[in-house]
Chains A and B, each alone.
Chain A
Amino acid sequence: QVQLVESGGGVVQPGRSLKLSCAASGFIFSNYGVHWVRQAPGKGLEWMAVISSDGTNKRYADSVKGRFTISRDISKNTLYLQMSSLRTEDAAVYYCALHKGRGWYFDYWGRGTLVAVSS
């Protein structure tokens, strides 16, 4: 079955960097676009970024464009999110999500990894 397992979260100081990973299994990773979605404590869901199946097309939410970079390693079945110049408002649970169906929705989600930004 489809599994998405995020890792790499933790406590980081404002202005520093952090790299999140999402290990995928149970499907052909190279066939699908994958996303990052975040949720600040007590807040709603916010789409962050998507990378196409072949890794050539990437799009970002305006709130992180220029600071965050999404990438994927097909050989490792792993999705990444490199976060730079972190701000206190970037503190959230970060989920990776799979767009496997024909439409523009997220049919599978990981359990998330928590990022705290604090001095």
Chain B
Amino acid sequence: SSVLTQPPSVSVAPGQTAKVTCGGKNFGSKSVHWYQQKSGQAPVLVVYDDSDRPSGIPERFSGSNSGNAATLTISRVEVGDEADYYCQVWDSTTDHYVFGTGTKVTVL
């Protein structure tokens, strides 16, 4: 089954850009989705199908997917962006859904 590896933590100053990576095999053939989970809350979808945003999600959140890695980019980071972020794919070989290991984004 798929294994999605993310860095445990990313630190960024307010107003700067945060990049969260998600690595896995044959990523180029899979659509990657990203969730934000603030402390004590349920996850929220912030990017789907590699780079699309649900309604209500700021344009500061963007995604890309190339080769064996996907990236969530948060531009002009705000204190309110501090959260855990998870990538997710659907593994067609097992018909299972797989989450990444998660990245804690800290706003300094």
Interface of B, secondary structure class, is strand
User: Among A44, A95, A101, which residue has its beta carbon within 8 angstroms of that of B42?
Assistant: A95
Nearest CB in chain A to that of B103: its residue: A44
B49: Cβ under 8 A from any A Cβ: yes
* A23 smallest CB distance to B (angstroms): 15
Number of A-B residue pairs with CB-CB distance less than 8 Å in the complex they form: 57
Binds B, one of A13-21, A24-32, A103-111: A103-111
A61: Cβ under 8 A from any B Cβ: yes
Cβ–Cβ < 8 Å partners of B45 in chain A: 105-107
Complex-state Cα separation, A100 to B58, whole angstroms: 21
Complex-state Cα separation, A101 to B47, whole angstroms: 12
Interface of A, secondary structure class, is loop
User: Among B88, B95, B101, which residue has its beta carbon within 8 angstroms of that of A59?
Assistant: B95
Cβ–Cβ < 8 Å partners of B100 in chain A: 44
Complex-state Cα separation, A47 to B99, whole angstroms: 7
The answer on a CB contact under 8 Å between B99 and A109 is no
The answer on a CB contact under 8 Å between B43 and A103 is no
Question: 1/0 per position for B71-108, CB-CB distance to A under 8 A?
Answer: 00000000000000010111000011111111000000
The answer on a CB contact under 8 Å between B96 and A59 is yes
Cβ–Cβ < 8 Å partners of B101 in chain A: 44
Cβ–Cβ < 8 Å partners of B98 in chain A: 47
Complex-state Cα separation, A59 to B43, whole angstroms: 22
Nearest CB in chain B to that of A59: its residue: B95
What are 7 A-B contacts defined by CB distance under 8 Å? A44-B99, A44-B102, A47-B99, A59-B95, A106-B33, A106-B43, A112-B42
Give the interface of B toward A (CB within 8 A): 1, 31, 33, 35, 37, 41-45, 48-49, 54, 86, 88-90, 95-102
Given contacts A104-B97, A111-B41, A111-B42, 19 further A-B contacts (CB under 8 A): A35-B97, A44-B99, A44-B100, A44-B102, A45-B99, A59-B96, A61-B96, A62-B1, A95-B42, A101-B48, A103-B31, A103-B33, A103-B48, A104-B89, A105-B33, A105-B45, A106-B45, A107-B48, A109-B42
